[in-house]
Each structure stands twice: as structure tokens, then as C-alpha cells.
Amino acid sequence: MSHPQSYELLLIPDHSRTRTGATGRAIRSAVVAATGETGASGYPRYTGQGMEADIDPETRTVEAVLVDGEELDPGMSVQVAQGDRRTP
């Protein structure tokens, strides 16, 4: 199965999310590229611009992430942008 070669990720404060689950304004974004490796989560690993993430290509869900080498602070989340820049 071919996985996308890149995604745009958004770092979003959870307090900016509405009760319906719509996302608020991202405080940071990064385009991450496939490394060819599989992360500890079992999903393809992507890195770039200070972010490292395991992403499920079927659901576009970020399964594991580091930002600048650190785990996310409580109250923060990372997700794939709706109109991401992924390439086949």
C-alpha cells in the first residue's frame, strides 16, 4: 500500500475547540515528510519543521507526536490540516 509522502500538521490549543469538535486557530503548522520508517504505534513516521509524527494514512489521524523533541503539553493537540499538502 502506498502512503502519502507528506502532510501538513496543525498544533492547536484544545481550549480553542468548540463543543462540536470543530478546530480553532492553529498556533503552529509544519509540513512533515515520510521517513520510510514505521513508528512505535505501527503507523508510518513523518518528520519535518520540528514535528515528528506517526500518522494513520487511512483515517489521517495523528497517532503519536513530538514537537521540538517533546511530548505535547496538556491542552494541546495536533491534527492533519483539512486541505493538507500531501503528495502521493
Q: In terms of Cα–Cα distance, which of 46, 81, 49 is closest to 64?
A: 46
Q: Which are the contacts of 63, defined by CB distance < 8 A and separation ≥ 6?
A: 39, 41, 43, 53, 54, 55, 56
What pLDDT does residue 11 have?
A: 96
What pLDDT does residue 19 have?
A: 44
Q: Which are the contacts of 74, defined by CB distance < 8 A and separation ≥ 6?
A: none
**Consecutive 10-residue runs of the chain (88 residues): their mean pLDDT?**
89 68 79 96 98 96 97 94 67
If you search the block for the grid coordinates 462540536, which residue do you land on?
20
